[in-house]
Structure 1
Amino acid sequence: MMPAKSWSQPLHSTKYLSICTSSPPTPGAQSSTSWPTVRRQIPSSQLSPPPDDRMLKLTYFKPVKYQIDTHRESMLSHLQSSSIARRIKIVSFKIHEAVIKGEESRYRAIFSEWVHQFQLELCAMWNRGLESQVMSTHLLNEALELSYLKTILLSNYDMYPYLRYTTPTFLQTVFSDPTLWPDNTITSVSVAHILSSPRCELGNFIVMDTIYAMAYGLPQHVEYDTSITSIPDDSMNFEWAHGCPTEFQIILAQINQCRDRNPNAPDWRDIEHRLITWQSRSNSHHTEWESWMVVAWLAVQETWRHTLLAYLYMAVCGASSDEPRVQFSVSQIFQIAKTIRKPEQPAASIHLFTQYFIAGICARTEKHRLLARHKLSDLSESTHWLIRGTIFVPVLDHLWLGAGAGGQPVKWSDYMLSRETVLPVVV
């Protein structure tokens, strides 16, 4: 799948390419300030995160020791890979530090400019097509990190086409690794193999691709193999970061396939049966987690189960939002989410975009609509969601004031009309 031409055309502007030889200035300084790029190998002792690792402060479900070690090894590898990797990581640390201190709004303009320039630089490198396979893999990681930073900075309106642009590198990376592509007779990507691997950047791509495809009502960028529906608990290398059980991530990809009438999609009744009969499970982290975190993890699983049921009924089965099976799941989402303990760190929160987004589409009462709107708009809770809910609040407003006015039931087609009107995407 080749990137859309309309996406790459602005990249021919050369005024941004000068950042290839400089690093971003300190917040508060003039944006033209720069210092020479460091091109030497950096000792691991200088790159290792401090004991109060920034990422640990920004996650609700804390990783266990082997995951922390894996994360640090991966980060060191990326920092050694290229100048742009180091410069992006510097900006990432500064943004995360500002978030922890509650100062991100103060520096949002300059942060956004840095991220925008880095994005243009990456796209220009892809356009030249001169990068090795290893370097392309690192560029994918940097591109996905930029997308996450764009979310924090409220500037990720163009993420669906941006993911399209990174798709060829994602596929090249997967198909060149036999551990990620065990059956080389098929051209689809195994979701289970990716999410159980230590390659977090690839897992991030799948999570973002499936959720954006759901929210925009557009096809996923990759043909996924979802035939393996579960993986061993000790292989759960990814789900702690975003609070989504791996099985549900696979089911989300399947529902998107069903919605788009993909010939490889399973029967929707099989998906429904698995969701209805699914039981909350513990995992290997529980021995290291505090009891309140274990309870929260079980609750989050239930919110995901009901979210996917409501999405399945609306988007695949053509259900109306007033059907009892839909409204039951909506009520459960709001009720269970309310019981999840708030984090002690203001910057840490569970990624609940999908839950409040689907519940908001299906909500009929003013109480539920206001709650969904508040949660999607609340920057204190949604700062580190992979998708910032504020983007879709105007879409929900259009839906609620249009087809859903006065609590009238809506269908998925009504939501799509609102999305296409308020948040159009060139495909």
Structure 2
Amino acid sequence: MARTVSKPGPPPQSCLTCRQRRKKCDRSKPKCKRCLKGGFECLGYGGPDPRPKVRPEGPNTLAGSLTRPNSELDPVEMAPTPDSKSITKDPQGPTNTDMDYDSRPSILGAALLYRLSKPASLTNEENSTTDPLEDFGRSWMQCQSQLSVYSRKSRVNGPKRVFNALCQSIPPLVDMKEDRFERIMHEHDSQRSNYWFMSPPSATRRPLLAQLKLSKGMTWAFYLEARLFQALDEYPYSSGSTVHGYIAYIDKIEQKFTLDSHNGMTLGEVVDRFAVQLELAFLKFAAVDSALGYDLLRKALPRFLQIVAADSDLHKELPNRNLVVSFPHTLSAPRYELRRFVLCDAITSFIFGVPPFVDYAYDVECDAMSHGLEWVHGIPVLILQIVSQINSWRASSRTSGWEALETRILAWEPSEDSATDAARVAVREGWRHIVLIYLYMGLCGVSSDDSRVQASVHRIVQLGETVTNLPIGVHMFTHCVVAGLAARLERHRMLVHRMLLSFKGARVWFFQGLQFSQVLYHLWHGVGVKGAPVKWDDYVESRCAIVPI
């Protein structure tokens, strides 16, 4: 049982758009100048806001509801709530009324009530003689007051809001209005943009946005991702219980958009489901567990191959009649999802020390400006291709030709766009030494006491110290892992360990700093105790012990 109480303090004076965006409003009337300057539609200031707040009367309420069968539960009650003891705000902290959410009903909220009032069966919807678009339009205006109360109730209940918005679904024929979609994308990007390697080029951004507008699954995934990351930011000291409350929703989207397949799907439907799988895999990598993210990435492989098979430019037949995927052509393919999978395959194979999912051909050198992913992670294209090539050669036990790879690595020069940015130069230059260590230790089999390896370790540590306190420093994750596994000096190990622990909460890379600090700790206190030399396979064994996949 819940009771409604008034929230103390004066009513918010910000415009509805600034409240939803959680920005400070200049309170200009009739329209907020901050919204107009930022290209957002100002929704005005609305009327008085009673701001009801829902509080559970006691811990027995949830326990009592769990004794009933699921069929008798309200959808809100079915969602797990994080432990109230572990998720509490500082009672002495400041209260900013400008940070309240927009009280106007969103299209997701309206869709929720629309779905709750309709039969759940897809068959019933298909046989209905009423136009769902017209029906939804009428119901939206009739339920604004109900939505106003619901939005606050669900906000307090954390992931319950997401459960209803996602699991009850958007009406099947309702397209997301452009301004609503842009707001979801803005909220999604605001969680990660501070940690991007650089601002995305418009040539990359525009086609991606146009494609995402047509995908209900990606809209849901982005909405869930933004809400989860927001919850983790608000409750950083209770991340375990917060994440636990969202895992079921990630799995539910996965089941709806990735597991529920049929043989008659069009290529567009396959691409859409593949894109959802990749986004959910990233979400599991970044916020849940690296092993779970890797497992979901593995499940996406059949759809990747199906999409590649439909384009003859992306695969080739070897003299032994085996079909392989062209790494350079796929990395420059028009479909963003294919490029993203190739990047994930290369990096996970590298960091986990496992064979790649795909057999690649490296028939030509990648176009340095082709893949459009460097703005996210800062990996130079040539370096990424060499990392993938070493992965493939390790899987086939090939070592001949490593000198040619070394020559290409040493001859590589960073692009001109980063020449004036010392932090970005440090990240990119660090990648040169990462792949040199991988070449010497991972492919040639030398130990960490090799002079070439130690020279690269020293250089990575120097570069890392220049970006330690900068947001861009999160892109030194791989630098820390590789330099850490080869480090022999205690001061180098301490710096690496400290940097890995500092990456908590950034959620840009596929991996979590805490997990891999434990991997290195296992290595340093095992084979590498007291600075003893180690080999790449020693690192892989420590990874298997701490992060089994």
Same fold (TM over 0.5): yes
The equivalent residue for 1:226 is 362
Q: Does 2:222 match 1:89?
A: yes
- Against the structure 1 CA distance between its residues 405 and 129, is the aligned structure 2 distance closer, same or farther, given a 3 Å change threshold? farther
Output one character per residue of 1:279-300: Cα deviation in whole Å (capped at 9) or x when no partner.
Answer: 22224xx6xxxx86x3333222
Stretch moving more, 112-121 or 320-329: 112-121
- Indicate how the Cα distance of structure 1 residues 187 and 282 shifts in structure 2: closer, same or farther if over 3 A, else same: farther
Partner of 2:457: 330
> What is aligned with 1:279?
413
Amino acid in the other structure paired with 2:437: A
- Where does residue 425 of structure 2 map in the other structure? 298
Which segments of 5 or more consecutive residues in structure 1 lack a partner in the other structure?
Answer: 1-14
Task: Tell me which of 105, 108, 112 is aligned to 2:247.
Answer: 112
Deviations 1:315-373 (A, max 9, x none): 11111101110000011111112223754xx6x65432221111111011111112222
1: CA distance, partners of 2:422 / 2:447: 32
Residues 118-197 of structure 1: pairs in structure 2 closer than 5 A: 118-126=253-261, 131-178=265-312, 180-181=314-315, 187-197=323-333
Question: Residue 67 of structure 1 aligns with which residue?
Answer: 204
Partner of 2:444: 317
The letter for the 1-side match of 2:545 is T
Alignment partner, residue 349 of structure 2 = 213
Task: Establish whether residue 358 from structure 1 lines up as the match of residue 482 from structure 2.
Answer: yes
Q: What amino acid is the match of 1:250?
A: Q
Contact 2:349–2:355 under 8 Å retained in 1:
yes
The match for 2:169 is: 37
1:10 alignment counterpart: none
**How many angstroms apart in 2 are the aligned matches of 1:88 and 1:244?**
25
Please tell me the residue identity of whatever aligns with 2:157.
G
- Aligned-partner Cα distance in 1 for 2:291–2:297: 12
SS at match of 2:175: coil
Provide the alpha-carbon RMSD of the alignment: 3.3
1:389 aligns with 2:513: yes
- What is the percent sequence identity of the aligned residues? 28
Q: CA deviation at 1:409?
A: 0.7
Cα distance in 2 for partners of 1:73, 1:303 equals: 35
Question: Which residue matches 1:245?
Answer: 380
The size of the alignment, in residue pairs, is 391
Specify every segment of 5 or more residues in structure 2 that has no aligned partner in the other structure, as ranges.
1-70, 72-77, 80-114, 121-150
Partner of 2:136: none
Amino acid at match of 1:28: N
1:369 and 2:493 matched:
yes
Contact 2:281 2:294 in 1 (8 A): no
DSSP-derived class of the 1:157 partner: helix
Secondary structure of 1:250's counterpart equals helix
Q: How far did residue 396 of structure 1 move? A: 1.5
The one-character-per-residue Cα deviations of 1:127-157 (angstroms, maximum 9, x if unpaired) are x556433212111111111111113313232
Shift of 1:237: 1.7
Against the structure 1 CA distance between its residues 401 and 341, is the aligned structure 2 distance closer, same or farther, given a 3 Å change threshold? closer
Rounded to whole Å, the distance in 1 between the matches of 2:446 and 2:509 is 28
Residues 30, 256 of structure 1: alpha-carbon distance in 2 compared, 3 angstrom cutoff? closer
Q: Distance in 2 between matches of 1:333 and 1:86?
A: 39
The Cα of 1:74 is off from its aligned counterpart by: 2.8
Structure-2 separation of matches of 1:403 and 1:420? 14
Conserved? CA contact 2:481–2:496, under 8 Å: yes
Compare relative contact order (CA 8 Å, sep 6+) and give the higher one, 1 or 2.
1
1:416 shift after superposition: 2.6
Please give the per-residue CA displacement for 1:163-183, whole angstroms capped at 9, x wherever unaligned: 222111011112213454488
| Residue-by-residue CA offset, 1:369-396 (whole Å, 9 max, x unaligned) | 1222222222446432122232222222
What secondary structure sits across from 1:107 in the alignment?
helix
Distance 2:210 2:312 in 1: 21
2:547 aligned partner, one-letter code: L
Query: What is the rounded CA distance, in whole Å, between the counterparts of 1:411 and 1:341 in structure 2?
Result: 27
1:76 maps to which residue? Answer: 213
| Alpha-carbon distance in 1 for matches of 2:276, 2:396 | 33
Contact map agreement 2:474 2:503 (CA 8 A) in 1: no
Give the residue type in structure 1 aligned to 2:164. Answer: S
Q: Give the alignment's TM-score, normalised by structure 2.
A: 0.64
What displacement does 1:159 show? 3.0
Shift of residue 305, structure 1, vs aligned partner? 0.5
* CA distance, structure 1, for counterparts of residue 400 and residue 283 of structure 2: 35
Label 1:66 to 1:268 Cα distance change in 2 as closer, same or farther (>3 A).
same
Secondary structure, aligned partner of 1:48: helix
Q: State the secondary structure of the residue aligned to 1:189.
A: strand
Going from structure 1 to structure 2, the CA distance change for 1:44 and 1:391 (only over 3 Å counts) comes to: same
Partner SS state of residue 291, structure 2: coil
Larger CA deviation: 91-100 vs 205-214: 91-100
Offset of residue 51 of structure 1: 6.6
Conserved? CA contact 1:148–1:386, under 8 Å: yes
Post-superposition offset of 1:109: 2.8
> Which letter maps to 2:462?
Q
Task: Please give the alpha-carbon distance, in whole angstroms, between the structure 2 residues aligned to 1:30 and 1:360.
Answer: 37
Give the 3-state SS of the residue equivalent to 1:218 in structure 2.
Answer: coil
Q: State how far apart, in whole Å, the 2-side matches of 1:99 and 1:342 are.
A: 21
Distance 1:119 1:390, change over 3 A: farther
Structure-2 change in CA distance of 1:372 and 1:122 (3 Å)? farther
Confirm or deny: 8 A CA contact 1:63 1:240 kept in the other structure. Answer: yes
Shift of 1:186: 6.8
SS in 1 for 2:323: coil
